[in-house]
Amino acid sequence: MENYKKIINDIYLEIKNIDDIGKVARYIPELATVSPDNFGVYITTIQKDSFGVGDCDKKFSIQSISKVLSLTLAYRFEGIKLWDRVDVEPSGNPFNSLLQLEADLGKPRNPFINSGAIVVCDVLVSHLKNPKKDFLDFCREIANNPTLNYNEKVAESEKITGYRNIALCNFIKSFGNIKNNVEDVLDFYFHICSLEMSCKELSEIALFLANDNFTTHKGNKVLTNSQAKRVNAILLTCGFYDESGEFAFRVGLPGKSGVGGGILAIHPDKYCIVVWSPKLNLKGNSYKGMLFLEKFTTKTTSSIF
């Protein structure tokens, strides 16, 4: 851990004031109100050693990183049947693309693009009595953190401007791959995207993907080891949309980004690390976040490859 601490501090100082070519997401108006200068990093190891720098305790909108948690809960309910509804192939297309859905007859390429996550939300709406409350309870249990919550302002802001997601959900429903009411599924989707966490909280909630022996404080295992391996595999191949290859190439860890500027990366058997910097590159991934993690895995020689 001492080694990690020094390297994290050094990289933080090295890139804190670089010329960041990214831009804060504006298509969800509420996200544009966040200061672009926020920059935080937090690492939690499977031994629960931890270290953070910068704005690592400030909550931010985790956006698409919540797709890891919704997939996890749906996988628990459905097991391998889930893959009849959503595939596990990289899409090579932007996160909000409608392009492939027509040829693929409404079956999204993977659960980490919007179309796939919307189908996963539909699966959860079918299983949960009170989807928003029950999903939050699930997150609070694995994080051992009763303070986790949605940001209603962000959810509302996305709902008002959610033309693409509304189109995706309706289009998939036309193929029969959405079983519930479109409004209910989207309301749930917009809420899970609005979940707020700090870098610290996010690094802790993902530990079940790094630690084979993880159980919640209530003694529950979150996924079987085989399921956790598969979720990590999808993260590696699909976690950054049409930049997934680039992230694997430069960083070499399973991970997930969100348009709030967060990136979660997982080193199975070692640690979870989260970087938050709201300015995004053209593919919708945090510019500084990717740069930080590339330097981190290079200097610590701790990628999975």
* Per-residue tokens: 87: 């595939």
What is the closest distance, in whole angstroms, from the C-beta atom of residue 3 to ligand GLN in the complex?
Answer: 32
Nearer to ligand GLN, 95 or 138 (CB): 95
Applying the rule CB under 6 A, the residues between 230 and 259 that interact with ligand GLN are 258-259
> Quick one: which of 44, 50, 64, 110 contacts ligand GLN (CB under 6 A)?
64
Binding status of residue 114 toward ligand GLN by CB under 6 A? yes
Total H helices, total E strands in the chain: 12, 10
User: Is 61 annotated as catalytic?
Assistant: no
What is the closest distance, in whole angstroms, from the C-beta atom of residue 126 to ligand GLN in the complex?
Answer: 20
β-pairing, 195-197 with 40-45? unpaired
User: Is 64 annotated as catalytic?
Assistant: yes
> Quick one: which of 42, 75, 95, 240 contacts ligand GLN (CB under 6 A)?
95
Q: How many CB atoms neighbour CB 7 within 10 A?
A: 18
Binding status of residue 204 toward ligand GLN by CB under 6 A? no
Q: Looking at 259, 274, 275, 295, which residue is catalytic?
A: 259
Applying the rule CB under 6 A, the residues between 144 and 183 that interact with ligand GLN are 158, 165
- Between CA 93 and CA 284 the distance in angstroms is 12
Task: Using the structure block, give the residue that is written with the tokens 């270290």.
Answer: 51
Contact flags string 254-293 toward ligand GLN, x per CB under 6 A: ----xx------------------------x---------
Distances 67 to 22, 50, 51, 250, 304 between C-alpha atoms, Å: 23, 24, 25, 23, 22
> Quick one: which of 41, 186, 193, 274 contacts ligand GLN (CB under 6 A)?
193
Residues 6 or more apart in contact with residue 301 via CB below 8 angstroms = none
Binding status of residue 31 toward ligand GLN by CB under 6 A? no
Q: How many CB atoms neighbour CB 26 within 10 A?
A: 11
- Between CA 89 and CA 237 the distance in angstroms is 8
Nearer to ligand GLN, 54 or 261 (CB): 261
Nearer to ligand GLN, 116 or 284 (CB): 284
Q: In what helix (H) or strand (E) does residue 61 lie, and over which residues does it extend?
A: strand 60-61
Angle separating helix axes 131-143 and 66-78, nearest 10 degrees: 100
Q: Looking at 67, 200, 288, 295, which residue is catalytic?
A: 67
* Per-residue tokens: 211: 């630690």
Active-site residues, by number, are 64, 67, 189, 241, 259
Interacting residues with ligand GLN (CB under 6 A): 63-64, 95-96, 114, 158, 165, 193, 258-259, 284
